[in-house]
Every structure is written in structure tokens, then in C-alpha cells.
Amino acid sequence: MDRAIVLIGVSETRGRLGRLEAVESAVDLMEQWARGQGIPADRIARITDGAGEPVTTYQISRWVRHFVEQDPVEQLIVYFSGHGSMDGRAEFWHLSDAPNDLNAAVNLVVSLDAALRGSVRHVVFISDACRTVSKGVPQAKLHGAGIFPNPIDDDGSRGVDVFYATRLGAPALEVPVRVGANDVYKAAYTEVLFEVLRGAKPHVVTGGFIRPWPLKRALQTLVPEYLRVHGFPPALNQDPDAHILSGDEAWVARFDLGVPQSLPHGPRPSVDPAESPASFGVSPLSAEALVSRVLCHPVDDASLEIPPLHAMTEQARDVLHKAVAAVGEGVPGLEASGLVVIGQRVQGVRCLEYDGAIKPRFGSVGASGSTDTVTFRAWEFPDLWTPKQALVQLRDGSGLLVPIFNGCIATLKWDPEGRMALHYDPLYAHADTDDMRQLQWLRAVVAEAAKQNVFEVDKASAQALDERMAKLQFLDPALALYAAYAYREIGEIDRIRALRDYLFQRLGVHLFDLALLSRDLLRGPYTPTDFMPATPLLSTGWVLMDALGRRLPAELRSLRQYDTGQLWAHYSPQGVQRLAGWLEPSTGQAEAYSMSAPTL
């Protein structure tokens, strides 16, 4: 098999994230491994800032394009060591000029999608970088760039695997390791990865190959063990992850079975059995595992086992606590299809292409079995028969574009931490019915996990979620959007298309996000009135625009710069003005209703 590897290392950026000390040594290890695998020198591209030269997306994409087009290979490995961050479900590798230059980052989401539809049979991404949520406006506004060429064959699907040094929302660690009389910083994940890939763990090698799934499982065990061996307490942990989309025949490393494999370099510290991972008892239930259990079992299913709080990670406890608090909330008693806002003051609501009445109101709703209530402001659309989109402008001038469906109540709710989520309830629904109890529990867990960047699925939990949503007749279209973005990450394009078709039959309109994720927008013409709403509902849709929406009008794509980077697309005051101006020429004069916040 013809193979190539692109090694990227960025020790320092223009941000305030600090210099990383282990980047160059980590890249050295991966280059040493690549040479040991027999990858020719002219197919090992090393791009680092070790000599003081900045690392750019142009340098990286030039080498990737070379191995895709000029010197095509069957397997391409892309390794990165440096700072990373997340924005919603979007992931970025920070390059030298980030965040001053908003494009000085590798947009991993866009790169993965292009690789999936590209010509290289097997692409392996290895990310030894943090996956923490962006801190501060400059990072949150990173756009980044894809490093793979946009493919001509949009329906292709290749084997693509991505190995992450850590789980969603967590840092990747550099740890001080005693070398002689000094402490030297090492990249924990790459140190372990190198040992495994060079054959130092024979149990991972099967038939002369290290394949993706065994590698994923080995790293999940060995990285925490590495930290224990070097004296770090269980509270300081790092949990590697991976998304494996390649087939059973794919491999990452291969060996000549007739040649003894190399041993680890240097003596390995012995592990006291009393300090081994097993001695710490069963690993606490992670937030991701908690979500998986909820997806696979209804709330009253006897097989749904949720352990006591002390047997969960802190984040799992937090997800569960906030989800339970959201369950049982009453549905605002509107008399017509409408929009409800909780937790924010609204300046005005403009319903595009709607020429009926808009009736403002306010009220309060309580949780089932509780005396606590929350106030809401609502706008009813009694003459609404077909889906419309409402431009909601908040008191600070910022806003959102929200679909309004006949027979549904759309609710925008801000929690005490300022995080917003959108959900839908059927008109005249009662919170104490079985379907509503199931719906509220399911979406409460999914929404909270999504807010904390820990909502992910595998093929089994995706199937279970599909079945749960179908049984509930897709009462909440927002839940289908959470699912679709999670399906995209595991390559389940057919599931996304099935969601698109079902919701079109139910709602009578194509949801923009589902059309984008189904790759429909790469094929047919686009007009704002063809989709609901006219822009992505979740911010990750904007991040994917370069890959999946590159044929859309430039005026639409330019609106991305005004998205503030929250989970659900939310636009700055200037963005609201630009959005309104862009929509009105194509939809005609829109009815607008503005009201001051009512005094209670």
C-alpha cells in the first residue's frame, strides 16, 4: 500500500494559550515511527514552527493536495500536535497566527467531510490537542480552513478514522517526566501512541497489523495508565477517543512477522499492583456513557440502570442534575401555533411571508408537582397554516431565526448560565401524558449533553435514538437536528437522509440543517423560501458551510461572520440587520410586531 504522512506541530500561537514544550519531541516520535514503517522520506511532510517559521493552512493543504492529486497514495495520515479548541461541535487546530487571523486554523470538521468524499482510500487523522470550548471572543470566532481539496465525487464515502488525544470538552496533557536529573515535558498521548504503533504492545497486533478498533481500545486503557505510572493522581485523567469509519480490513501500522518487534526505548517504570487502574475500582460512568444509556432505554424501562451519583464523573452528575430539573416542565397554554421565549427580554418578532395576525401575550408555567413557576412571553400566529420563519430580535439587538410550524409551540429558553436551546411541543400537549414524559426526558438529556459538548452516538445508540424518535412521531423537530449532527460524525448519511424525508412529510418543508447534512445543497439550486429557516439552526452548520454549502450564494455564506458561536445560531445586532436585509428582497415585505417587555 502506498502511504504518506503529514506531521504538523505548532508550539506557540498569537493567542494567550501559552507555549507548548512537548510539540517538537512529539513530532520527532511520529516521524521516527513513520520511517520505521517504511514510509519513504519524500512522503513524510514535516511542518512545524520549531525553526521560528509560522505554520499556515496553505503549507498544510499544499502537501495534502500533493498526496491526493500529484503523488496519490492509498493511505494518508495527518498528525497534529498543538493547541486545539471547540466551537459547538466544530473542532479547530490552532496555527501560528491564530486567533489574530480567523482563518489561521485547521477546520477539522470540514477536513473530515472532504476526506470522506475524497479519493484517498484510507485517511487517518491523529489529534494530540485540547478539545475544550473556546474561551474569549477571538477564539470563538475562528473560521479555519479545510486542508483537503473539495472532491468532485460528492457521493463517495471513504474510510476515515480520527483519533483524539482526549474526550470532548477536555484538555490534552503535557506532563513533566524525570529524565536524569531534570524534568522534561512529554505529550502523554503521543508517547503512548508511539509505543503502541511501534509494536511494543503485542496484544494490540493481530496478524501483523494494528487495526483502528483495537488501537482505540488500547489507547483508552494505556494513556490513563501512563499518567498513573508517572505519579499523577486519578483525579488528573485523560480519556482518549476515536471515531472509526473505516472497514474491518483497514490498518494503521503493519509489521513483518518474521522480524522481532522493537522494544520500548529505555526502561519502563514498574507499576505497583496497588496503584494499577484496576485498584481504583470500576471507572465512574462518564457523561457520554450516561447519554448512551438514556438513548437506548425509555425512562420507565426496567433495564435503564443509572448508578448512584458517587459512581459517576462530575460532568455526568451535572448533565443528569440539569436534565432532571428540565423534566416535567409544563407546556405554555397557547391557543394557537406560536413562539415562546423564556429567560430573555425581546425587542420584537418579525414573521416573514406571514400576512395574518400576531397576538402577543405573557404568562407563567410550572413544573409538574412543584410550586415553582417561570414567566414567559409568547407570540401566537392564529392564521398560520404553512411553516414560516420568525426573526426574533432580543433587547440587546442580537437575534435568532426560528421556524414556526402549524400545530406546534416553539420555545426559546435561556438557562441561568445564559445557554440557549430551542425545542418544540405539540399545541395542546399535556406534560403528564406518557409520550410527553418520554419526550421531555429524552430531549432534556440530549440538549444538556449537547450544551456541554458531550452528545455523541455510536451505531447502536443511533439506531436506538431513531426508534425512540419514530415512536414519538418526531414530536420535536429540534431533537432530530441534534441527532443529525451526531449521525454526521459517525458517517451515518443514510440516517440523516431518512430524517430529512420523514420530517418533510410531517412538516411540509425541508429543514435547512438536514438538507445541508444530506448534501442536497451541493446539487440543486437554492432560494431562501425553499428551506426552513433560510440559514442553519445550529452553529455547526455554519462551520460546515465551506464543505457542504460552497455552492450557496456568497451573501448567505457571508452571514457566518455574525454568528456568535453558541450551540444554536445566534446573530450579533449587525448580523440581525444584515439577515433581515438579505431575507426581505426574496420574501417580500414581512409583517413585524414589536412589543416592550410586559410588566408583571
Measured distance CA(320)–CA(327) in Å, rounded: 11
Q: How far is CA 323 from CA 255, 457, 497, 564, in A?
A: 48, 18, 29, 25
The secondary structure of 417-441 as a DSSP string is: TS-EEEEEEETT--TTSHHHHHHHH
* Residue 42 CB neighbour total at 10 angstroms: 9
pLDDT for residue 256? 75
What pLDDT shows up at residue 241? 92
Given this model, what pLDDT does residue 309 score? Answer: 82
Rounded distance between C-alpha atoms, residue 109 and residue 90, angstroms: 6
Q: Mean pLDDT of residues grouped by 10 in the chain (600 residues)?
A: 96 87 96 96 96 94 94 96 85 91 91 90 96 62 87 70 91 82 86 95 93 95 91 82 91 75 39 38 77 82 70 89 82 88 91 86 72 84 92 95 94 90 86 81 93 88 92 91 92 92 92 93 77 92 85 87 90 93 62 43
Strands 338-342 and 373-380: antiparallel
- What does the radius of gyration of the chain's CA atoms come to, in whole angstroms? 25
Buried b vs exposed e over 107-140: b needs ≥16 C-beta within 10 Å? bbbbbbbbbbbbbbbbbbbbbbbbbbbbeeeebb
Contact 242, 212 (CB under 8 A): yes
C-alpha cell at 112: 473530515
SS3 350: strand
* Predicted local confidence at residue 46, as pLDDT: 97
Instruction: Report pLDDT for 404.
Output: 94
Query: What per-residue confidence (pLDDT) applies to 154?
Result: 56
Distance (Å, rounded) from C-alpha 37 to C-alpha 40?
9
Three-state secondary structure call for residue 363: strand
Domains recognised in the chain with CATH numbers: 3-270 (3.40.50.1460), 309-594 (no CATH)
**Neighbouring C-alpha atoms within 13 Å toward the C-beta of 392:** 27
At what angle are helices 477-489 and 459-471 packed, to 10 degrees? 160
Q: Give this prediction's pTM.
A: 0.82
E strands, 469-558, in order? 510-511, 531-532
